[in-house]
Amino acid sequence: MTPSDPPLKMQALFEAQRAAFAREPYPTWETRRDRLQRLRKLLTENERALETAIDRDFGHRPAIETQLGEIFPSLQEIKAALRDGRSWMKPRHAPVSKWFLPARGKLIPKPLGVIGIIVPWNYPVFLAVGPMVGALAAGNRVMLKLSEHTPAFSECFAQLAARYFAADEVAVVRGDADVAASFSSLPFDHLLFTGSTAVGKTVMAAAAKNLTPVTLELGGKSPTVIAPDYPLRRAVTRILAGKLLNAGQTCIAPDYVLVPRAKVESFVEEARAQAARMYPDGLASDDYCSTINERHYRRLCGYLDQAKAAGARVEPLFAGATRDDAGRRLAPALIVDPPPHLAAMQEEIFGPLLPLVAYDRVEDAVAFIARQPRPLALYWFDRNEKRVQWALRNTVAGGVSVNDTLLHIAQDALPFGGIGPSGMGHYHGRWGFDTFSKLKPVFRQAHVNAMGLFLPPYRPLARRVLELMKRF
């Protein structure tokens, strides 16, 4: 069982961080750089320990997937902040209206204070470190609430955080949903939550009591569209790469695929062949990840059972066994032309199941997406640039990758975030720095200025000048 931190301990940690921030409300770049370098050392000096802890929590997760999906992108985030953080801190020029010249305007990035980050279980390193980078670069203190579903990782990371940081710089909280509720109720200066839409509503409601601003990184059903003339094998290769990483337990994994009706059977054949190339030993492949826990494994099995009972066609992609209950491994499977009422079509799948929805015209595919809640990600496979631009104008999503999957999240120059039911706000790179800063607007009046014209008692000249200003 994961140890829980009582509310009084959380409150004490929060007050200690707030007091420390009050003593140092604008850390120098040297201080911020030191914290980022210590965060980098935490990762690079303990990669094997983090891999091992996550593997224990999942039952089995390939070490290289932890490297690809967690360690590498976390280090890239830190690298970008160390490279550019000093420039992010600088005041930014802001023009003033011509009528107020020669006054000047600027924006001063100011640290907010104490940042709360609620970390999910599926990518516990990256979804802790990624937001931390922006928060620390911006000069803040950080409190992390780690998931109770990754107890080994949580214990490991809590010990490492205590080794590399003072508790008033970075503090880790562990515990269940009740602890998360207490954590969300603390009067943070900003709260970032990554997780489900349902829990996101609860977090936002708790934060609202303190008027705490929130960034919500939620999930949803991220669609994939294959254009009629796009090479099918290439599309299938990249779709399965994005879908089967971490056995589909990725918030931006392709959730369903819209396929030209005439190519559905070819997609099934290509997907089965590609799955065999990726995992030649099927469920026994060491490169295939387990489901995080029994509850989620049974949920996914229930999706398949419901689809079969409803008469939907289920196509397993591995030869031989399709389930390994002891190892919580579920073979990837396609659900072909699923009825819309299925749970797999209503809920975020978060596993290796992939519905295929046939379409006749690309306009129909876009209309289908428009009828669904706004997704966290959209994937569009197409070589027709005009049609790609049309699709980008006529769809709404938190982020888009064209002719690939997942990779928009790995770009530190692009903001990452959802929209509507898939989230609000964004971070990564400078966008994260800005999220965890107050861009304080400053207007500096010139010594010689015309404001005296508009003081009571108002003279006729004031009205004439105002009329002239309205014309230009």
Read off the amino acid at residue 264: V
Look at the alpha carbons of 131, 132, 138, 142 in this order and tell me if their dihedral is positive or negative.
positive
Tokens of 116: 């709360």
Rounded-to-integer distance, Cα 340 and Cα 338, Å: 6
Rounded-to-integer distance, Cα 157 and Cα 154, Å: 5
Rounded-to-integer distance, Cα 246 and Cα 345, Å: 21
Cis ω before 355 (30° cut-off from 0) = no
- List 217, 270, 289, 348, catalytic entry: 217
Instruction: Indicate the SS3 state at residue 50.
Output: helix
According to DSSP H, which parts of 165-263 are helical? Answer: 177-184, 197-208, 232-244
Rounded-to-integer distance, Cα 277 and Cα 162, Å: 43
Contact between 141 and 168 under an 8 Å Cβ cutoff? The reply is yes
15: which residues sit within 8 A by CB, 6+ positions away? none
Number of helices and strands (H, E) in the chain? 17, 18
According to DSSP H, which parts of 120-263 are helical? Answer: 126-137, 151-164, 177-184, 197-208, 232-244
Rg (CA), the chain: 25
Per the listing, tokens 């049309």 go with 390
Rounded-to-integer distance, Cα 88 and Cα 86, Å: 5
Rounded-to-integer distance, Cα 364 and Cα 385, Å: 19
Rounded-to-integer distance, Cα 472 and Cα 467, Å: 9
Active-site annotation holds for 251:
yes
- List 251, 270, 289, 301, catalytic entry: 251
Residues tagged active-site: 217, 251
